[in-house]
């Protein structure tokens, strides 16, 4: 039986390499024989029918939706993640242990005094059923109302790719430039039939998708602001993570929308 952590070795290479091995990277904006375009589901919501949906050859249930959002919508979702969803009555957060007294109006505090803001220490919030990190499980007794708009968005995205779901829990991760998330498998959810839906806003990143064990070499792909990754079918049980967030990659359209009063924020610093 193999003992080498192949996923970890690839993760370190992608994380620390100053020059990415471009021929290995899957970029859904470029032609690649590992990728195929697929149709939306017949009952996809109208607003998603014009979006570009892709599958990875040989990876069951994986779907990649190139940004279906307008710049104004991207800003609104970014702002929700930084403002409404960070409020203590809406979520649990890593800040509960270190900055509990500063959690209220976190985004307003950041706008007033960015250099001393607790937002700089924000790593994650949980919505709906709150994931218990040390125990690696969800506790039925620890639950906040799930944001209705986010629930509707998740349901729309699931319908569009033919993998229906009713979102009840979410983890929102906040990344600084050059930060990462180690490879992991989402196996704590009681329902393993529902897909994992991941949305990205802000900076671009290198996303890794491995196999059902750490002995499988992961595929690396570029994820940009507004892109959606869906892991259903066999890909639901695959190891995955963020090898690196890329500095200076916030799209100009977000700055332009913000300057025009599109609402929200996030700038170059957070993803």
Alpha helix locations (H) across 68-175?
71-82, 95-98, 106-112, 148-160
Give the integer Cα–Cα distance in Å for 206 and 228.
Answer: 14
Cβ atoms 251, 262 nearer than 8 A = no
User: Is residue 240 a known part of a binding site?
Assistant: yes
Measured N-to-C along each axis, helices 71-82 and 252-259 cross at an angle, to the nearest 10 degrees, of 80
Strand locations in 66-224, DSSP E? 92-93, 124-132, 137-143, 169-173, 181-184, 196-199, 205-209, 219-223
On whether 186 is known to bind a ligand per the annotation, the reply is yes
Q: Is 139 annotated as a binding residue?
A: no
- φ, ψ dihedrals at 28, nearest 5°: -70, -5
DSSP symbol at 86: G
Total Cβ atoms within 10 A of residue 82: 23
Which stretch of DSSP H or E encloses residue 192?
none
The C-alpha R_g of the chain, in whole angstroms, comes to 18
Q: Which residues are annotated as a binding site for Fe cation?
A: 184, 186, 240
Q: Which residues are annotated as a binding site?
A: 184, 186, 240
């Amino acid at each position: 039986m193999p003992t080498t952590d192949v996923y970890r070795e690839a993760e370190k290479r992608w994380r620390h390499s100053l020059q990415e091995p471009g021929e290995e990277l899957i970029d859904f904006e470029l032609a690649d024989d590992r990728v195929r375009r697929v149709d939306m589901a017949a009952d996809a919501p109208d607003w998603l029918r014009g979006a570009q949906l892709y599958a990875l050859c040989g990876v069951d249930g994986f779907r990649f939706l190139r940004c279906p959002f307008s710049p104004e919508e991207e800003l609104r979702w970014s702002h929700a993640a930084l403002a409404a969803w960070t409020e203590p009555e809406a979520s649990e957060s890593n800040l509960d242990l270190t900055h509990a007294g500063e959690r209220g109006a976190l985004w307003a505090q950041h706008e007033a005094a960015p250099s001393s803001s607790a937002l700089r220490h924000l790593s994650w919030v949980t919505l709906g059923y709150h994931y218990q990190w040390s125990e690696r499980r969800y506790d039925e007794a620890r639950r906040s109302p799930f944001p209705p708009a986010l629930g509707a968005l998740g349901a729309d995205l699931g319908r569009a790719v033919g993998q229906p779901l009713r979102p009840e829990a979410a983890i929102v991760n906040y990344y600084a430039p050059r930060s990462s998330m180690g490879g992991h498998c989402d196996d704590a959810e009681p329902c393993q039939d529902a897909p994992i839906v991941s949305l990205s806003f802000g900076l671009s990143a290198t996303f890794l998708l491995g196999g059902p064990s750490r002995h499988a070499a992961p595929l690396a792909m570029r994820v940009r602001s507004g892109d959606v990754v869906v892991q259903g079918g066999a890909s639901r049980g695959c190891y995955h993570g963020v090898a690196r967030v890329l500095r200076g990659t916030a799209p100009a359209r977000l700055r332009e929308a913000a300057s025009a009063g599109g609402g929200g924020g996030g700038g170059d610093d957070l993803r």
